[in-house]
Structure 1
Amino acid sequence: MELHDIWFVIIATLWVGYFFLEGFDFGIGVLSGTLARDRAERRVLINTIGPVWDGNEVWLLSAGGATFAAFPDWYATLFSGFYLPLLLILVALIVRGVAFEYRAKRSSESWQRNWERAIFWCSLVVAFLWGLAFANIVRGVPIDADHEMTGGLTDLLGPYALLGGLATLLLFTFHGAVFAALKTTGDIRLRARRAAGGLGIATAVVAGACLLWTQGDSGNVRSLAAVAVAVAALAAALAANAAGREGWAFIFSGLLVVATVATLFLALFPDVMPSSTDPAWSLTVENAASAPYTLKIMTWCAVLATPVVVLYQGWTYWVFRKRVGTQHIAP
């Protein structure tokens, strides 16, 4: 396997890790505006991810940095062609982060409620836009012989892309509901479990349609196994959730996220950005990659740094592993 193939796998792994961890963050953000009945319950939900949400975003920064260094042509075409959606994602992530930090700075009801609304809307928008972006990347966009995207915003809003956005929104909200049931106590825990059941069924319909569409378009045998894993993981997550086995439900909902993202990258390979204008103009892992020496240096950096990041983040989750309930919320 060539170094550029290895770095495609590494970048795919970083995105899998990001969506596995940040996926339930987005889900909790959406549920804070739909599942929670009052201020105390919103605080409970937000506190389940309070110690870890910023650490989860390290995976996004790593994925972006790795793409910039390993596949500069992919990075340039992606960020120029997807400028508006990626800008909206960036702004929403910034506002969401500020909302987490500033929400409790004042005791005013309107102050706190407005920041809580920002968490809800920014989580919803980002969860939708990530699906929209990746659906376009996998399906292909107009790229010319100079590897520049020639289409406009309307080219990114096709039926498949919109379905992909709705699929990730439902998938992350389902993942977040399972996480909420795992991390909370009392009535909100029971309601999160019930919500997970309904969201799981909706996810099965929408995400299932999106994955089947992806598989039908790509005809890629490699991604077929990932689709099968996703179907089995969703069924197992729903069964574990119905039985009250919240730990297993979270493991299987996480596996569902992993298999779904893996399906997209397996369907994409060996392209990194297909051209819908002419397949010969597509960006591939070979023609979009950096020089072998650059990839070799990056590989050594990844080997040294990755275990430290994973161990530290694992330790953080272990420290904050206990459940949270309204009885833990100060007046």
Structure 2
Amino acid sequence: MGTLWFWIVALMLTAYIVLDGFDLGVGTIYLWIARTDSERSQALRTIGPVWDGNEVWLLASAGTLFFAFPPLYATAFSGFYLPLMIVLWLIILRGVSIELRSHSSEVLWRTFFEAIFFFSSALLSVFFGAALANVVRGVPIGADGYFFLPLWTNFRTGPNPGILDWYTILGGVLAVTALSLHGSLYLALKTNGDVEERATQLAKRVWIATLFLSTIGIPATILARPASLTDYLRHPIAFIFPLMGAACLIAIRLTLSKGFQLRGFLASCGYLSSMFLGAAFGLFPVILPAVGTQGRDLTVEQALSPPHTLRVGLAWWSVGMCLAITYFCIVYWLFRGKVSIDDHGYEH
């Protein structure tokens, strides 16, 4: 049962990364791609019908973690309380900026909300990448099951890390470049005219940075946490994840050259999915690794809820997922196709 719920959560987080990833990417590249007020409205209309729905996957993942692995919440909040609060405020600011920008006719206020949209989107990308890197690297869990992380120590991995070190900074930068690429491909798919052309050109440049950081990211992960290679060596079939990531990156570049926009975006979805699921496989059966000598890794079995809770939760989760997937299929179908600069439809 623990294995099932671990991969349920992993797949839900993958859905969040893929879906909310493109609108975070749109926000990160927003000020460079869209240069006039009408172009920025066009860019926002591409994510307007879906951005808030995409964030449902983050809430659903958090709720699933809470009932499936409650001890993980107690342990994680002890050391990540401040970063989690910052993420919450950034999500709020991002939503407010998207909503209020379209309700203001004053140039000053529209520019202010556009800057907040960019700022919050870029910082969320950095925080999510650094957070995943913190989990992969491990945290100094004490004998009591709690831990404290300063913002930084000596910027090295080891028994006394900080939230920021060379590895977590690498994770944050990789997340920004990967989501910027994802957002560029989405804008190229959903827009036309100058915005489409700039998005395509930016995607070609960001692809190079993503390829470079992904290439050094895998050996960096093994260096930061050598145990992450254990499951791969025990189950060599898992090497399919990095191979799929590499194949998807190559496919992105080929589609950019040939103008196959939908295929390029789907390849980006595959790249993000394979990278995250590969990281999850490198962790399993650990759900939060420990560094140092005081504490032990928090495993899936240690953090698992009682069997009755899991059985009841699985029944309700199945119903909820069916409704959520149906909703998303309908929304994406209704708002399919490109968004014209002259289109005055949905804008939030």
Query: What's the TM-score, normalizing by structure 2?
Result: 0.91
Kindly provide the amino acid, as one letter, of the partner of residue 188 in structure 1: V
Which residue of the other structure, out of 162, 175, 198, is the alignment partner of 1:168?
Answer: 175
1:239 corresponds to which residue? 254
Measure how far apart 1:191 and its partner are: 1.4
Task: Tell me if the contact between 1:215 and 1:224 (Cα under 8 Å) persists in the aligned partners.
Answer: no
Q: Give the whole-Å Cα distance in 1 for the aligned partners of 2:297 and 2:82.
A: 22
Measure how far apart 1:297 and its partner are: 0.9
- After the TM superposition, which residues 188-227 of structure 1 pair with which residues of structure 2 at under 5 Å, given as runs? 188-215=195-222, 217=226, 218-219=228-229, 220-221=231-232, 223-227=238-242
Q: Secondary structure at the match of 1:180?
A: helix
Kindly provide the amino acid, as one letter, of the partner of residue 167 in structure 2: Y
2:301 corresponds to which residue? 286
Deviation per residue, 1:215-262 (Å, 9 max, x gap): 453113154221111011011011111110001001101100101111
Q: Secondary structure at the match of 1:272?
A: strand
Measure how far apart 1:317 and its partner are: 0.5
Which residue of the other structure, out of 265, 269, 273, is the alignment partner of 2:284?
Answer: 269
Q: Secondary structure at the match of 2:31?
A: coil
Which residue of the other structure, out of 42, 46, 49, is the alignment partner of 1:48?
Answer: 46
Measure how far apart 1:100 and its partner are: 1.1
Which residue of the other structure, out of 138, 142, 145, is the alignment partner of 2:143?
Answer: 145
Q: Give the whole-Å Cα distance in 1 for the aligned partners of 2:191 and 2:294.
A: 50
Measure how far apart 1:149 and its partner are: 1.0
Q: Give the whole-Å Cα distance in 2 for the aligned partners of 1:313 and 1:210.
A: 32
Kindly provide the amino acid, as one letter, of the partner of residue 342 in structure 2: Q
- After the TM superposition, which residues 11-50 of structure 1 pair with which residues of structure 2 at under 5 Å, given as runs? 11-50=9-48
Q: CA RMSD in A?
A: 1.4
Deviation per residue, 1:173-207 (Å, 9 max, x gap): 10000000000011211111111111111101113
Measure how far apart 1:150 and its partner are: 3.4
Instruction: Please say if 1:184 is aligned against 2:185.
Output: no
Higher deviation after alignment, 227-236 or 73-82: 73-82
2:159 corresponds to which residue? none
Q: Give the whole-Å Cα distance in 1 for the aligned partners of 2:3 and 2:259.
A: 41
Task: Tell me if the contact between 1:40 and 1:329 (Cα under 8 Å) persists in the aligned partners.
Answer: no
Which residue of the other structure, out of 73, 76, 79, is the alignment partner of 1:78?
Answer: 76
Q: Give the whole-Å Cα distance in 1 for the aligned partners of 2:219 and 2:204.
A: 22
Over 3 Å counting, the alpha-carbon distance change for 1:95 and 1:150 in structure 2 is closer
- After the TM superposition, which residues 251-330 of structure 1 pair with which residues of structure 2 at under 5 Å, given as runs? 251-278=266-293, 281-329=296-344
Q: Secondary structure at the match of 1:326?
A: coil
Deviation per residue, 1:2-39 (Å, 9 max, x gap): x1111100000110000000000101001211211111
Q: Give the whole-Å Cα distance in 1 for the aligned partners of 2:149 and 2:194.
A: 49
Over 3 Å counting, the alpha-carbon distance change for 1:69 and 1:118 in structure 2 is same
Measure how far apart 1:329 and its partner are: 4.5
Q: Secondary structure at the match of 1:327?
A: coil
Q: Give the whole-Å Cα distance in 1 for the aligned partners of 2:257 and 2:220.
A: 29
Off by >4 Å, runs of 4+ in structure 1: none
Task: Tell me if the contact between 1:164 and 1:207 (Cα under 8 Å) persists in the aligned partners.
Answer: no
Deviation per residue, 1:282-310 (Å, 9 max, x gap): 10001011111111111111122211110
Kindly provide the amino acid, as one letter, of the partner of residue 211 in structure 1: I
Deviation per residue, 1:305-325 (Å, 9 max, x gap): 211110111110010012112
Higher deviation after alignment, 301-310 or 321-330: 321-330
Q: Give the whole-Å Cα distance in 2 for the aligned partners of 1:120 and 1:72.
A: 34
Q: Give the whole-Å Cα distance in 2 for the aligned partners of 1:101 and 1:152.
A: 35
Which residue of the other structure, out of 159, 164, 173, is the alignment partner of 1:157?
Answer: 164
Deviation per residue, 1:114-149 (Å, 9 max, x gap): 011111000000001000001010110100122101
Q: Structure 2: state its 5+ residue gaps.
A: 153-161
Kindly provide the amino acid, as one letter, of the partner of residue 226 in structure 1: F
Task: Tell me if the contact between 2:145 and 2:295 (Cα under 8 Å) persists in the aligned partners.
Answer: no
Deviation per residue, 1:52-109 (Å, 9 max, x gap): 0000001000110111111111112112211122111110000100111111222110
Q: Structure 1: state its 5+ residue gaps.
A: none
1:134 corresponds to which residue? 132
Q: Give the whole-Å Cα distance in 1 for the aligned partners of 2:102 and 2:198.
A: 25
Query: What's the TM-score, normalizing by structure 1?
Result: 0.96
